[in-house]
Amino acid sequence: MATRSIAPGVFTPTPALRLIGGRHRASGGLVFPLPPDTESFEPVELPSRGRLWSYTVQRFAPKSPPYRGTEPFEPFALGYVELPGALIVASRLTQVSFDALRLGLPMELTTTALRTDPDGCVVLTYAFRPAQDAIA
Amino acid sequence: MTDVYIVGIGIHPFGRTDSRTGLQQGEFAVRAALADANLNWSDMQFAYGGSDAAGKADTLVAQLGLTTLPFVNVLNGCATGGAALFGAYSAIRSGDFDLGIAMGFDKHPRGAFDPRPTDWGLPEWYGEAGLMVTTQFFATKLRRYMDLHGIRPITLARVAEKAYHNGSLAPHAWRRTPMDADTILGSQMVNDPLTKLMFCSPAEGGVALIVASEKKARELGGPRIRIKAVSMRTRPQGSFEVFAPSLDLERGGSVSTSASRAAFEMAGIGPQDIDVAQLQDTESGAEIMHMAENGFCTDGEQEKWIAEGRTRLDGALPINTDGGCLACGEPIGASGLRQVYENVVQLRGTGGARQVARKVRNGYSHVYGAPGVSAVVILQC
């Protein structure tokens, strides 16, 4: 099954999956995603594990555009994950029941299918799921 | 520098008025304020006004009169009204003018606001992935606050219950049917933990306030309410705002706290001196968090305050006495001035069925909005 990333430069390909942030060359401050201004920002790979900082469930279909997800719409979880020593990033949350979400939950980076395009190509976006070794 | 007074107020009912454009609702409010102060448009020496999405305020001179007055258009998102009043206040305080008007109006389509990533300097994929929804911001900010400070869902429902009760008593409110906490909790979940009836909706409306120098206010002889402070701030480092793909690990303060502190310092009074408050309540949780961000209580004390009814019309600190954004809806350009309008009504003692029980001397209003702006106004009678 053919897949493609939601956009270039958001995350590195698996198996070494990482979000690509930007480090401000002058101040050293981190941001995600990497801003287009590469003169001021250098790319930096962000930690792939962290803890859930906050969360909610998207119960209604966001307006399209800009939203382009699966149809019919299915509610999905999203939130912020605190990546130690780096940043707190906004993300979809996947492979977790809505009821199991709680602050501080150990999370790890993965990808999830956002939709399948008419050409049969599956569009992937990044997401965080509960850390598999923490569950076991 | 002279003190500044509000000598006239006017409002166009909030909600939906299909028969009038946003500009016409602004004009309606201006005429109502002029009538309230027993003044004419030709008496106005300047005007500040704006809307976020319903046209240019200064075009209203065609309807109101070509008196050649300076008319400054303001466009500051949710702080548009606050910024207009800030301008009008400063114009009087400088001594250059002694009578003028601040106004704001708006008219938004039904449903959630419809942002485009590029307008916010964000990549398309952020919207495409379903992460660019304003209600998500409110829900995630609130979820963390509730867990850290022990706020329960029933408390969110009680805030909305109070809003619809107060709105039922306010002629300018939109949602005028009281709603009990169970109905609010049981309504459709939008973004957990917030249900549909805990959110305000985009709406329509207009407000105008006539401001005067102390000398002019005395001359006019009508009721006058003193503006003790007007502050406006933009976000500090490390604040949490809407449409943030990432946040700094080091968390900072809130823009509302910055605006609040500046206003209290300017007024020379503290939160304990406030008798009635209008706080930005885009959703129930926002009112709760803003109680602490504006210095009225510590984080978590809201549980007790709200359970005891301290923020109701008969409480120690009545909050959102006309039902706030929850009951009035949110026409962006008019919302902040509605709060000031409501405080003038309360300070004049003309609130009728919604007049607060306690004696009122100091009124506080706070508006907050994207992308991290806040304005606070403190009135005194």
Task: List per-residue pLDDT tens for chain B, 381 residues long.
Answer: 789 999 999 999 999 999 999 999 999 999 999 999 999 999 999 999 999 999 999 999 999 999 999 999 998 888 888 899 999 999 999 999 999 999 999 998 876 667 889 888 899 999 999 999 999 999 999 999 999 999 999 999 999 999 999 999 999 999 999 999 999 999 999 999 999 999 999 999 999 999 999 999 999 999 999 999 999 999 999 999 999 999 999 999 999 999 999 999 999 999 999 999 999 999 999 999 999 999 999 999 999 999 999 999 999 999 999 999 999 999 999 999 999 999 999 999 999 999 999 999 999 999 998 889 999 999 999
Distance from the B195 Cα atom to the nearest Cα atom in chain A, whole angstroms: 10
Mean pLDDT for the stretch of residues A61-88 = 95
Q: Which two tokens stand for residue B216?
A: 């002019």
Are residues B174 and B15 in contact, defined by beta-carbon separation less than 8 angstroms?
yes
Element of type H or E holding B27: helix B22-37
Q: pLDDT-based confidence at A130, cuts 50/70/90? A: very high
pTM for the model: 0.95
DSSP A118: T
Interface contact flag, B130 A60, Cβ < 8 Å? no
Tell me the C-alpha to C-alpha distance, in Å, between residue B124 and each of A27, A92, B119, B121, B130. 27, 16, 10, 9, 10
Nearest residue in chain B measured CA to CA from A91: B131
**Residues of A with CB below 8 A from B241's CB?**
none
**Residues of B with CB below 8 A from A90's CB?**
126, 131, 244-246
Residues B193, B195, B199, B201, CA torsion sign: positive
Q: State whether residue A112 sits within 8 Å of chain B by CB.
A: no
Q: Which residues contact A85 (CB under 8 A, 6 or more apart)?
A: A47, B249
Q: How many CA atoms lie within 13 A of B227 on its CB side?
A: 31
Interface contact flag, B248 A58, Cβ < 8 Å? no
Interface contact flag, B247 A80, Cβ < 8 Å? yes
Interface contact flag, A58 B133, Cβ < 8 Å? yes
Q: Which two tokens stand for residue A130?
A: 């509960």
Element of type H or E holding B112: none
Residues B44 and B49: their CA atoms lie apart, in Å, by 13
Write down the pLDDT at residue A13.
Answer: 85
Write down the pLDDT at residue B112.
Answer: 60
Q: Interface pTM (ipTM) of the complex?
A: 0.95
Residue among A10, A79, A88 minimizing CB distance to B246:
A88
